[in-house]
């Protein structure tokens, strides 16, 4: 089996897993626009990006379809939305009214600038550079608040594993042939999702 086919399979496996946890998240009562609500939305968007990625690799990439770049950029646009929803999770979890307003403005501006660059850039590293600071910001805040919320250890572990998966994809690690960097990265992210779900269920449910 070729790496490109394994990329599609691992993407579909990731999508199935994340949709499962997104569904589990609906079991928890939470107010709209609360930190838990935004995190639930983040998980759903992550599942959608994995599904689109599977379609991309499994059908368009294999056939070298001329419109593949359009599907790819739609997927990358969803990853921009993911960065925004994570910013809003941070806003509702860790900041007061003023801080929430500032982060909302930052999130909107970041997303608009990201879309503008996305229209003129075909390199995935740009996508990673958009979401990496957001995840690092979240990690720092979780660590700083760890003493008063030690149950957030799952979130810390999940973010760290997610960063490893992103680095594997970014640097195209192909140590485990026929898995390439994408396929291996997807499998690592699958592990991260378990912890990100567990960390998400303890987020604030009040807006």
Dump pLDDT digits (tens) for 164-183.
998 888 777 777 778 888 89
- Residue pair 87/110 in contact (Cβ under 8 Å)? The answer is yes
- Residue pair 125/170 in contact (Cβ under 8 Å)? The answer is yes
- Say what the pLDDT of residue 149 is: 80
- Say what the pLDDT of residue 148 is: 82
Which positions of the chain have pLDDT values less than 50?
Answer: none
- % of the chain with per-residue pLDDT over 90: 68
- Say what the pLDDT of residue 60 is: 85
- Residue pair 196/43 in contact (Cβ under 8 Å)? The answer is yes
- Say what the pLDDT of residue 138 is: 96
């Amino acid at each position: 089996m070729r790496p490109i086919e394994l990329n599609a399979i691992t993407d579909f496996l990731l999508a199935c897993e994340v949709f499962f946890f997104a569904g589990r998240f609906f079991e928890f009562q939470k107010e709209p626009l609360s930190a838990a609500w935004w995190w639930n939305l983040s998980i759903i968007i992550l599942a959608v990006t994995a599904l689109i990625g599977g379609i991309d690799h499994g059908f368009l990439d294999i056939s070298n379809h001329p419109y593949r770049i359009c599907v790819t950029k739609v997927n990358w646009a969803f990853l921009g939305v993911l960065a925004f929803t994570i910013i809003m999770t941070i806003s509702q979890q860790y900041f007061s009214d003023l801080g929430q307003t500032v982060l909302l403005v930052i999130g909107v501006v970041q997303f608009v600038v990201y879309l503008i660059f996305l229209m003129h850039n075909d390199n995935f590293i740009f996508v990673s550079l958009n979401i990496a600071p957001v995840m690092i910001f979240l990690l720092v805040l979780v660590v700083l608040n760890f003493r008063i919320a030690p149950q957030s250890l799952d979130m810390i572990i999940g973010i760290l594993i997610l960063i490893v998966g992103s680095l594997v994809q970014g640097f195209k690690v192909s140590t485990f042939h026929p898995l390439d960097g994408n396929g291996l990265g997807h499998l690592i992210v699958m592990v991260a999702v378990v912890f990100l779900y567990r960390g998400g269920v303890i987020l604030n449910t009040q807006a």
